[in-house]
Amino acid sequence: MSEQLRMMAVHAHPDDESSKGAATMAKYVSEGVDVLVVTCTGGERGSILNPKLQGDPYIEANIHEVRAKEMDEARDILGVKQEWLGFVDSGLPEGDPLPPLPEGCFALEDVDEAAGRLVKLIREFRPHVITTYDENGGYPHPDHIMTHKISMVAFEAAGDPERYPEAGEPWQPLKLYYNQGFNRPRTQALHDALLERGMESPYGEWLERWHTMGRERTLTTFVPCGDFFEIRDKALIAHATQIDPDGGWFRVPLDLQREVWPTEEYELAKSLVETSLPENDLFAGIRNN
């Protein structure tokens, strides 16, 4: 293609973009691809997961502002653009039975109406490729599942001039992918490599209960991006309220990751161009058309 390639990554909360596909985005930015992260909610109801920051009265009183600043820092580290859709975090309900979701939250929005905001951004940015979550949300957080729903509607509607006519000139993205970076083959490979080297693995319990986490996904696309794992980790650490830099995310040495599993994985969900599987590029079938 003679025009600049464009990629849109649709995520539920600030920090999701840094834990799912961040090295891929940094790689494409380095190649001159225009990358836009769309963040559906402000993460207002997210728990403070970093034990070093728990109990901080300023953070607790200003979590929305704090998480927005964290997003700014992560965005700059990755070199991407970023837009907020402006929905309110639904929180992660816990208990048996589960409590009702809070009124006015993202997961309770009308899907077609909520998708209209995303359609508007798609028509403005004109991405060739969109990444989002599968129908299970990657994991069953209400906001992740809702992100999937509006992404699917928006992908189909953005190119249709009869739908959302107020949202701008139609634009049809060509491919849509589900993030599948948390997959069993990768986890097993890293787990085995750590044990073979006499190191402790943080993945043992994950693997033992994998059968409870839903069906195995089909991995179609393996993007080589090991050179950008360090940028990925820096972006993730920028979300200081959510990530403990001494926690399990960072226990596997980067050199080992690059040796054993130097890719990030995706599931091709929709394609309007011809491509052959497996792929090593989200723009396969687009670059040469």
H or E, element range at 189: helix 184-196
- % residues pLDDT > 70 (the chain): 97
Q: What is the pLDDT of residues 237-284, one digit of tens each?
A: 999 999 998 887 798 999 999 999 999 999 999 999 999 999 999 999
Buried b vs exposed e over 136-161: b needs ≥16 C-beta within 10 Å? bbbeebbbbbbbbbbbbbbbbbbbee
Q: What is the pLDDT of residues 23-75, one digit of tens each?
A: 999 999 999 999 999 999 999 998 898 999 999 999 999 999 999 999 999 99
Q: Which residues pair with 11 in a beta bridge?
A: 39
* 232 pLDDT tier (thresholds 50, 70, 90): very high
Amino acid at position 169, single letter? E
pTM for the whole thing? Answer: 0.95
Residue 242: per-residue pLDDT: 94
DSSP of 123-172, one letter per residue? HHH--SEEEE--TT-SS--HHHHHHHHHHHHHHHHTT-TTSSGGG-S---
H or E, element range at 121: helix 111-125
Whether 169 shows a pLDDT value over 70: the answer reads yes
**Contacting residues for 153 by C-beta, under 8 A, at least 6 apart:** 111, 112, 115, 118
Q: What is the pLDDT of residues 120-153, one digit of tens each?
A: 999 999 999 999 999 998 888 999 999 999 999 9
